[in-house]
Amino acid sequence: MSNNQLDETGTVAEKVATLDRFYSAFNSGDMDGAFACLSPDIIWIYHGPRDAIAFAGTFHGHEGVRDFFRRVAETIELVEMTPETFEATGDTVYGTGVEHSRSLTTAREYRVRWAHVYKVENGLITRFEEFLDTAAVAGALS
């Protein structure tokens, strides 16, 4: 799942390993394990129109991220969240992957490619920002 250029200190490999642990826990339903990879001060950003996507916005700390996931769970059924590549430069890791979800209200589905930008410091994700086709998400939800 990971593509990266190892640096001399191994920090790139460690940062990617943090993301591998996060997605492994998340995809297996181990939210405690997923949150163990997040800094208590994390900033979590999902871009999109808030009037069309209930989970769009900026969320702060573990409570904010729990609120994000609560909104997600009330809005969509996540069918697939598959990371494909990770590349790191310094503390920043760039990821690509695929999401396939179904609206709980309309039953319409969307399948989109995503790009994520993470900041990983001291073995924890301190910032997450997601970029994807929000028009496809909003269209499935309305």
- The pTM assigned to this predicted structure is 0.89
Spatial contact of 48 and 64, defined as CB atoms under 8 Å apart: no
Q: What is the pLDDT of residues 21-48, one digit of tens each?
A: 999 999 999 999 999 999 999 999 999 9
Residue-level pLDDT at 10: 43
Between residues 35 and 16, which one has the greater pLDDT?
35
Question: Is the pLDDT at 3 greater than 80, yes or no?
Answer: no
Average pLDDT estimate for 55-76: 98
How close are the terminal C-alpha atoms of the chain, in Å?
A: 33
Q: One-letter amino acid identity for 129?
A: E
% of the chain surpassing 90 pLDDT: 86
73 Cβ neighbours under 8 A, 6+ residues apart: none
Q: Distance between CA 100 and CA 10 in Å, rounded?
A: 33
